[in-house]
Amino acid sequence: MGSDHACLEILSVNLLDEERQRVDELRHLAGTLGLEFGWHYLLDLTWVLRHLGTIRGQRIMDAGAGTGIIQWYLAQQGATVYSVDRLDRSALPLRLRAHARVRGLRPADMLSSSAVMERERTTLAGGARSRRFFRNVQSILRGMLPRREGEVILYNEDLAHLSELQDNSIDTIVSISSLEHNTPEGLEGVVTEMLRVLKPGGRIIATLCTAGQTDWFHEPSKGMCYSAATLKRIFQLPADLADNYGDYERQMGELRTCAELRDNLAMFYSRSGNNGMPWGKWDPQYQPVGVIKTKA
């Protein structure tokens, strides 16, 4: 399955027990921030953090970050996090701004807190408006407390076009189950661009989705499930790099019977059929896979 230098590994549910302290930390932070996990994200997060190593003082890109938890966790640990996503997050909720120092890489990447509060005030009514107002005041007061040394820098841009980031400027790139929302051709361009901004010796540590030896598109989640051969080619890994795809069926069986993931399925899945677990029915169709690529 490789090493911390180069790796391709389908993630095991055993990570939940092996990294129990970190799982508990992530659950606590998610509760504090009002965030929910994707159905397999605790596996992805613990695997990435296990391989990450030093965090404090590092310049780390969270590729396809959204408002996901790892950027806040890394900032809490003292990293400068470049939070990159093609979605517009300029109106980032105040509760997230209060957790860490946050700014936009460009002026348009983040609205002021007062502008966000005014937007929320005008879109809510009555009791809901009052409750939201007091939560916002609490967030602002928390934000006035001494900040940790980490920072989140929002950059609302496509990962294939990181023109505001210089060559060889990022220590490490992490990505939690977002890169699969690219075609194989599109992902090649994304990896090329990520390698451009990565420092020599720096690593991409990413999780994606896989469903065995054939590439296929999972329509409900709008994500590609990649084979080992395709991931090795796109991430420029050795063709003979060891992997555990031969153990796919056994691990899928363990995933389908994992009570901890099943019983803690986030509520948002039950509201739609357009996600990785349509209508909240526990029925995994693919598995998370981890990739490590080191820049020469």
Is the pLDDT at 53 greater than 70? The verdict is: yes
Q: Which position has the higher pLDDT, 204 or 1?
A: 204
**DSSP structural state of residue 272:** -
Contact of 20 with 159, CB cutoff 8 Å? no
The confidence score (pLDDT) of residue 197 equals 99
Contact of 140 with 113, CB cutoff 8 Å? yes
177-205 per-position pLDDT tens digit: 999 999 999 999 999 999 999 999 999 99
The confidence score (pLDDT) of residue 146 equals 45
DSSP characters over 165-185: S-TT-EEEEEEES-GGGS-HH
Amino acid at 45: L
**Which residues make Cβ contacts (< 8 Å) with residue 222, sequence separation at least 6?**
181, 274
Q: Which of 35-39, 141-145, 209-213 has the highest mean pLDDT?
A: 35-39
**DSSP structural state of residue 98:** T
Local confidence band at 149 (pLDDT 50, 70, 90 cut-offs): confident
Amino acid at 86: R
Distance between CA atoms of residues 1 and 20, nearest Å: 22
264-281 per-position pLDDT tens digit: 999 999 999 999 999 999
Domains of the chain with CATH codes: 6-86+157-294 (3.40.50)
The whole-number average pLDDT for the span 27-51 is 97
Measure Cα distances from 54 to 42, 57, 204 in Å.
20, 8, 14
How many CB atoms are located within 10 Å of the residue 123 CB? 10
User: What's the pTM value of the predicted model, to 2 decimals?
Assistant: 0.91
Hey, what are 278's tokens?
């349509």
Residue tagged 């994707």 (tokens): 38
Angle at 45 between CA 249 and CA 244, to 5 degrees: 30
